[in-house]
Structure 1
Amino acid sequence: MERPINGNNSLPVKLQPSNLRPIAYRILSKKHGLNIKTDALSLLTEVVSYKYGFDWKGFQSQQFIEEIGKIWKLEDRGIFIDGPGLKQVVREINNKGESTISRSSSTEAVDATKAGRTDTIVDTEQEEQSLNWQEYFKIINPNEQTPCKFDKQRKQFSLIHGRHDKKALSDTLSNYLQSSVELFNNRYNLLYDRLSRNESFQKTSYTSISSISKTMSNLTSEITLIKNVLGRDGSKFILFGLLNKGTNDEYILEDSTDYIELNLSQTYKAEGSFYCPGMFVIVEGIYSASGGLSNTRSDYIGGCFHVSHIGHPPAERREISNENYGHVDFLGIHKQTGDKVLKINKVLRKKLVSLEKSLHGHKILMLGSECNLDNFKILDGLKKFFHRLENSIIESNNEDVPLALILTGSFSSKPLTSTSSTLASVSNSELYKGYFDDLSVIISQFPNVVEKVKFVLIPGKNDPWQSSYSLGGSNLNYLPQSSLPRLFVNRLERLLPRGNLILGWNPLRINYLSQELVILKDELISKFKRNDIIFENDLEIEKELVRLDQSPERINHIISQEQQEHVSPKIKQARKLVKTLLDQGHLQPFLKDLKLVNPDYDYALRIEPLPTILILNDVNFENFEVTYNGCKVINIARLLSPSSRKINFVEYTPSHKRFDFKELYF
């Protein structure tokens, strides 16, 4: 650390931490409510000794410690001052210039302090006026994201150390196994912490999870750990854990303490959600010491839990989660230094919100997925699209340039596969590269698009290199999926200005001032439907509806009810998808056999706290827009439907958080 300039005429002295502790306690603890750790106190003692010498008890020294307390609280660094964090704060103070604070006489010190405060106010005003939005518009891949995991002891996020450095890569298998074990534990701890803040599950509350669903009965709301139900035969409980399958193909629930077999024969589900193995659920029911398939095993003494109701852990609004976790800088607005997770202070948050509302002309364009460049109809549609975009830029005098144009794969209708023949393999690669060469030729016809538009490419399941072994299969195409190799897009890269071609991962995140956008390309609705548990009570209800539907009175009643609700089946299904995903707080809430996840980047699939915007690219679903707990979720359907000649795209205006779904006929 650079030593601060000694602004006094007095020589440095050698102090002990015990000498400075009373002053630090009076200013930092009693006045600002902060606690200074031992390593930080030692560092502060060293700085004050050198900076103020024999005047270490004087006014200037106390003003210096006062400044540290103010900056620490302003940056929301928590209540504990540690050594690395203090080193950063001292460096910030030195960079601002401490000469206005440190003077030889106390009178001059007061005047200088006033002047220093004035300078700070002026600097703040200038910073607000000169805040550059471009510094806070970032397209972030998972390997560029701040790797954080939830610490259940501190109830805060901490950095994941040694995950991607060279030393860690030498022990890849060990890291992979450790990460795989932690994957579901991290999700459980984070969701359990969220539930602990929910009013329906407070120990002092006497409502139950019936507050989530009208179908749920009234019980005590306290969640019980599985280990604590053993030996309490016939008692009612609420449990929370991972829904999984046992060795006998029976359903089980796992939490941090144990697992227990579930009997779902009389279960009523909370409507509006999917229920698949791999999801974390809340179950309500009665514990039985006997019964169940597992009790036939000599090593199992857990009994069986007869579930009466099942539901999801309700999602929490973004602002509430951020407030509880201290506005962690997950997307790297600040450059990460040291071992501490940085946070976005209140002043900067307000400035970013104010600035983004004033930038009415900003927009982001997103084309529908499956941009198959080997399809001549799609190439024709892209020509028309770029022609329209070129004219729009010219007519608006360069004021209608999108911040980014996002193209989502797969960029080939067939997977890029390797074969036993080297010649065939090379031919496949050259053919794939030729698709982007053709795209470059098209774009080159529109000089304003070439010069001004930032292109973002997100891969799909048919894109390299995963497609070489997955053969385009969704289950073998693990997430996060890395970006397209540059060797396939080098001609496009040479055509565009430097920095205007971004090879994105799947999923991808965009930081726009105060907003967080998450973009995912996956076939979620198919996986949810295919793996959704069919409860016996659901079948009974279906049979009853079929029987009742035979009567004209019943048919008229159903038609009248649907007309009153004004909700189409498509929107109902979309709401079901969105609620399930956001309640789970994860982009892939499945078991490993349903979807492969790279555990080293599992933090990039976490949507807790909720993002501002979640953009799905599911070709098996139509366009939709649904808002749940303040998070706006949209789906962008296929770029070009097989039987039409129209391009499907979306325009997003961040200042109003508005999506416009558009079609372009060609």
Structure 2
Amino acid sequence: METASLPIKLQPSNLRPIAFRILSKKHGLNLNTDALKVLTDTIGHKFGTAWKGVKSQQYLEEIAKIWKVEDRGLFIDANGLKQIIKDMNSNEVEKAGRTDTIVDEKRPENDNDGNEVEAEDEEVEEEIDWKDYFKVIAPFQQPRSVFDKNRKQFDIVFSKNTGDDLLSRLSKNLPANIESYSIRYALISDRLSRNENFQKNSNVSISALHSMRNGEATSHEITLIKNMLGRDGKKFLLFGMLRKNSNDDYVLEDETDYIELNLTQTIKAPGSFYCPGMFLLVEGIYSASGGNSNQDQDYIGGCFYVSNIGHPPSERREKSLEYYGNLDYLGIHRQVAPLMGEKITKISKKFKKKLINVERNLINHKIIFIGSDLFLDNFKVLDKLKKFFQKLENSIIESDGDIPIALIFTGSFTSTPVVPTNSSITNITNSETYKSNFDNFTNILSQYEHIVNNCKIILIPGKNDPWQSTYSLGSSSLDHFPQSSIPKVFINRLERLLPRGNLIVTWNPTRINYLSQEIVILKDELMTKLKRNDIVFDNDILMEREKLDKEASISNQERINLVIQNKSDMHHLSSKTAQARKLVKTILDQGNLQPFPKLTNAMYDYSLRVEPLPTILVLQDSSFGNFEVTYNGCKVINVGSMNYMEYFPSSKECKFYSL
């Protein structure tokens, strides 16, 4: 019979060495200050004067095992620790209430560990209603994922923002704007630190990494710009943001300093766009002399002669989620803890597998994405919509209720931007015309009762729609992101037509959670932006001239043979496919939907982040044709103009059709 020890008052400094040895050194977990205080109070109360004993240490071992089984991440916080201690206390009470002779016929006899596992399985096996895990999430509804540069972990913050407090957002926008690039730098740096090609012992050069050319292998360790000082003539690999300085010279900037770049001999890693504002890897030689900025005050001095330039490779979604503790970035699984405010839950692997199993069984579920720029002031567009609705209505009737769970329509919904004018009469006319366009859309939709009564209708704005058009004036180069939703005053008839909750008016970009999947939707002319901002290096011009000279020198028969060879080559890509892959790789490597110096509301910069990678990224780029490209496990789709695409979440299959 064990004698119980009386509770004692411990200090965190007393318990810290034992906690560090078991939790940190043995299990690789980090205990923050608040969590250490919680643990100290618990150990002192539970074990008293025996707080150094074997049972106390076994208790810490059990906490570490449960924390890791539940995939709560590398950092033990106070709220998570309280929940685990509460669960452990409940299990102890439950065990104490049992007799040794009671055997649950569902569990192995005399297997205490097995009992606990089965109890957890039973909890996971609770019925899941897919509707609870199908949510459209606008940026203001999405919890803010704030990357802590020191801890290298995300903090999830729920705000009470309704999307309408413009003055509050603008007042906070300046400091957030300053910080947003710093966070992007820190986040990509953290990603690179996990990539085996950038470890200290790696001996792969950036040129070899991107298969550009054979060259001398050098250390692939990234050097900070400030650490090049005094190392004239040495070769380095740098990482930072590419921008132009006041002298119109290209510079690279990291967290320590900036350096002027000489790009005359630079070779690009193929398959990407290179634009100012992007975070890039550059390889080359540092020269203490040269450059145009040596007279600038507080400048490190010298110039960096770049031989190779490339993008920081993206990371698969599963690896990023695992590293950051399987956080629920969209807030779908959150719980409200009493007296502790709102907190984010971690998504356990068991529960995620359950969600995947549910979605695999829902083989009839599909989401239809209708191509962007549906100009409702164009009779040809309205006629195509009538045919589309009729085809869909017939399909629902013939398939005995096989109904799409959502129809997603993306603007612009007018061919001319709704902009303010000097005349109040013109303003009213513009607004009335825009509203009448949606009234016409409503009249058409009302003729198809199966669609009206069963499908969710989701509207995403474009550059010509209010109030985005106030900023952009219809120009993609002046887009302001994120773009707020179409005001409901323009669509009140459509809202009255549909059952309550079936009309969702959301922002651009927007996210959809479907069971285990995260779907990101962006309306933007990304291809045009990337081509317009892509830097042409001297070496690009030289290579193009050599190509033209070579083509001019070959005979007609050789040219025909070359075309035949390219067509027969299984690895030969069409120009469209190559361009699509360039776009996808650039965006996903940058981890941001707008990787340029951009007009954005930095308070919502997290809504433009695609890191960790989403399951599906749907682009609505009317400046380019439809495509489907998968990169690092992320499927990226462009629907294109006057098309629609059916997406089947159970198989992740896409089918394209003309509207």
**Contact in 1 for aligned 2:252/2:259 (Cα 8 Å):** yes
Query: 1: CA distance between counterparts of 2:452 and 2:504?
Result: 14
Equivalent residue letter for 2:563? I
Query: 2: CA distance between counterparts of 1:435 and 1:451?
Result: 22
SS at match of 1:239: strand
> Match for residue 252 of structure 2?
253
Equivalent residue letter for 2:412? S
Equivalent residue letter for 1:651? E
TM (norm. structure 1) is 0.87
> Match for residue 496 of structure 1?
498
Of residues 445, 467, 470, the one that matches 2:469 is: 467
Query: 1: CA distance between counterparts of 2:44 and 2:647?
Result: 55
> Match for residue 322 of structure 1?
321
Query: 2: CA distance between counterparts of 1:144 and 1:224?
Result: 39
> Match for residue 411 of structure 1?
413
- Shift of the 493–41 alpha-carbon distance from structure 1 to 2, 3 Å rule, reads same
- Shift of the 569–611 alpha-carbon distance from structure 1 to 2, 3 Å rule, reads same
CA deviations over 1:250-294 (Å, ceiling 9, x no partner)? 100001100011011111111111111011111111111111221
Matched, 1:611 2:614: yes
Matched, 1:208 2:212: no
Q: How does 1:336-347 map to 2 (within 5 A)?
A: 337=336, 338=341, 341-347=344-350
Give unmatched runs, 5+ long, in structure 1. Answer: 1-9, 640-647
Query: 1: CA distance between counterparts of 2:153 and 2:96?
Result: 37
CA deviations over 1:195-228 (Å, ceiling 9, x no partner)? 1222222111211112332225332211111111
Query: 2: CA distance between counterparts of 1:179 and 1:537?
Result: 38
Equivalent residue letter for 1:258? D
Query: 1: CA distance between counterparts of 2:25 and 2:302?
Result: 54
> Match for residue 361 of structure 1?
364
SS at match of 1:460: coil
- Shift of the 57–242 alpha-carbon distance from structure 1 to 2, 3 Å rule, reads closer
CA deviations over 1:549-599 (Å, ceiling 9, x no partner)? 12216524541442113421111111111111111111111013xxx1110
> Match for residue 287 of structure 2?
288
- Shift of the 312–23 alpha-carbon distance from structure 1 to 2, 3 Å rule, reads closer
Query: 2: CA distance between counterparts of 1:264 and 1:494?
Result: 59
Query: 2: CA distance between counterparts of 1:301 and 1:41?
Result: 43
**More off after superposition, 572-581 vs 250-259:** 572-581
Q: Following TM superposition, by how much is the alpha carbon of 1:33 offset from its aligned partner in structure 2, in angstroms?
A: 6.7
Equivalent residue letter for 1:656? S
Of residues 129, 134, 140, the one that matches 1:132 is: 129
CA deviations over 1:525-558 (Å, ceiling 9, x no partner)? 1111111111111111111222221221652454
- Shift of the 481–574 alpha-carbon distance from structure 1 to 2, 3 Å rule, reads same
Matched, 1:378 2:381: yes
CA deviations over 1:604-628 (Å, ceiling 9, x no partner)? 1111111111111111111111111
Q: Following TM superposition, by how much is the alpha carbon of 1:130 offset from its aligned partner in structure 2, in angstroms?
A: 1.1
> Match for residue 591 of structure 2?
585
CA deviations over 1:362-394 (Å, ceiling 9, x no partner)? 111010100111111111111111112122222
- Shift of the 412–154 alpha-carbon distance from structure 1 to 2, 3 Å rule, reads same
Q: How does 1:200-239 map to 2 (within 5 A)?
A: 200-216=197-213, 217=215, 218-239=217-238
Equivalent residue letter for 2:81? L
Query: 2: CA distance between counterparts of 1:451 and 1:313?
Result: 47
Equivalent residue letter for 1:375? N
- Shift of the 144–211 alpha-carbon distance from structure 1 to 2, 3 Å rule, reads farther
- Shift of the 435–55 alpha-carbon distance from structure 1 to 2, 3 Å rule, reads farther
Query: 1: CA distance between counterparts of 2:60 and 2:328?
Result: 26
Q: Following TM superposition, by how much is the alpha carbon of 1:658 offset from its aligned partner in structure 2, in angstroms?
A: 0.6
**Contact in 1 for aligned 2:73/2:324 (Cα 8 Å):** no
Equivalent residue letter for 1:407? F
> Match for residue 16 of structure 1?
9
Query: 1: CA distance between counterparts of 2:251 and 2:515?
Result: 44
**Contact in 1 for aligned 2:201/2:219 (Cα 8 Å):** no
SS at match of 1:196: helix
> Match for residue 640 of structure 2?
637
Q: Following TM superposition, by how much is the alpha carbon of 1:500 offset from its aligned partner in structure 2, in angstroms?
A: 0.8
> Match for residue 243 of structure 1?
242
CA deviations over 1:398-422 (Å, ceiling 9, x no partner)? 1x11111100000111111222222
> Match for residue 580 of structure 2?
574
Equivalent residue letter for 1:567? L
- Shift of the 363–169 alpha-carbon distance from structure 1 to 2, 3 Å rule, reads closer
Query: 1: CA distance between counterparts of 2:587 and 2:18?
Result: 47
Equivalent residue letter for 2:177? S
Equivalent residue letter for 2:9? Q
CA RMSD, 1 decimal: 3.6
SS at match of 1:310: strand
Query: 1: CA distance between counterparts of 2:572 and 2:544?
Result: 22
> Match for residue 535 of structure 2?
533
- Shift of the 339–305 alpha-carbon distance from structure 1 to 2, 3 Å rule, reads farther
Of residues 144, 148, 152, the one that matches 1:147 is: 144
Matched, 1:77 2:72: yes
SS at match of 1:328: coil
- Shift of the 118–71 alpha-carbon distance from structure 1 to 2, 3 Å rule, reads same
**Contact in 2 for aligned 1:24/1:65 (Cα 8 Å):** no
Q: How does 1:263-278 map to 2 (within 5 A)?
A: 263-278=262-277
- Shift of the 480–392 alpha-carbon distance from structure 1 to 2, 3 Å rule, reads same
Percent identity (aligned): 55
Query: 2: CA distance between counterparts of 1:29 and 1:153?
Result: 18
SS at match of 2:125: helix
Of residues 561, 566, 590, the one that matches 1:562 is: 566
Query: 1: CA distance between counterparts of 2:209 and 2:43?
Result: 56
Equivalent residue letter for 2:630? T
Q: Following TM superposition, by how much is the alpha carbon of 1:349 offset from its aligned partner in structure 2, in angstroms?
A: 1.6
**More off after superposition, 107-116 vs 373-382:** 107-116
> Match for residue 424 of structure 1?
426
**More off after superposition, 57-66 vs 538-547:** 57-66
- Shift of the 90–165 alpha-carbon distance from structure 1 to 2, 3 Å rule, reads farther
Query: 1: CA distance between counterparts of 2:16 and 2:550?
Result: 80
Equivalent residue letter for 2:537? F
Q: Following TM superposition, by how much is the alpha carbon of 1:462 offset from its aligned partner in structure 2, in angstroms?
A: 0.5
Q: Following TM superposition, by how much is the alpha carbon of 1:465 offset from its aligned partner in structure 2, in angstroms?
A: 0.9
> Match for residue 397 of structure 1?
400
Of residues 592, 597, 602, the one that matches 1:599 is: 602
Q: Following TM superposition, by how much is the alpha carbon of 1:106 offset from its aligned partner in structure 2, in angstroms?
A: 8.9
Query: 2: CA distance between counterparts of 1:472 and 1:315?
Result: 33
**Contact in 2 for aligned 1:149/1:159 (Cα 8 Å):** yes
Query: 1: CA distance between counterparts of 2:269 and 2:48?
Result: 68
Q: Following TM superposition, by how much is the alpha carbon of 1:165 offset from its aligned partner in structure 2, in angstroms?
A: 9.1
Query: 2: CA distance between counterparts of 1:98 and 1:663?
Result: 62
Q: Following TM superposition, by how much is the alpha carbon of 1:82 offset from its aligned partner in structure 2, in angstroms?
A: 3.0
Aligned length: 640
Matched, 1:262 2:261: yes
Q: Following TM superposition, by how much is the alpha carbon of 1:452 offset from its aligned partner in structure 2, in angstroms?
A: 0.5
Query: 1: CA distance between counterparts of 2:23 and 2:538?
Result: 61
**Contact in 1 for aligned 2:282/2:306 (Cα 8 Å):** yes
**Contact in 2 for aligned 1:101/1:116 (Cα 8 Å):** no
Query: 2: CA distance between counterparts of 1:101 and 1:52?
Result: 19
SS at match of 1:549: helix
Q: Following TM superposition, by how much is the alpha carbon of 1:53 offset from its aligned partner in structure 2, in angstroms?
A: 11
SS at match of 1:142: coil
Equivalent residue letter for 1:239? L
Query: 2: CA distance between counterparts of 1:99 and 1:268?
Result: 67
CA deviations over 1:306-363 (Å, ceiling 9, x no partner)? 1111111112221222222222211113116557653211111211222222211111
Give unmatched runs, 5+ long, in structure 2. Answer: none
Query: 1: CA distance between counterparts of 2:492 and 2:5?
Result: 59
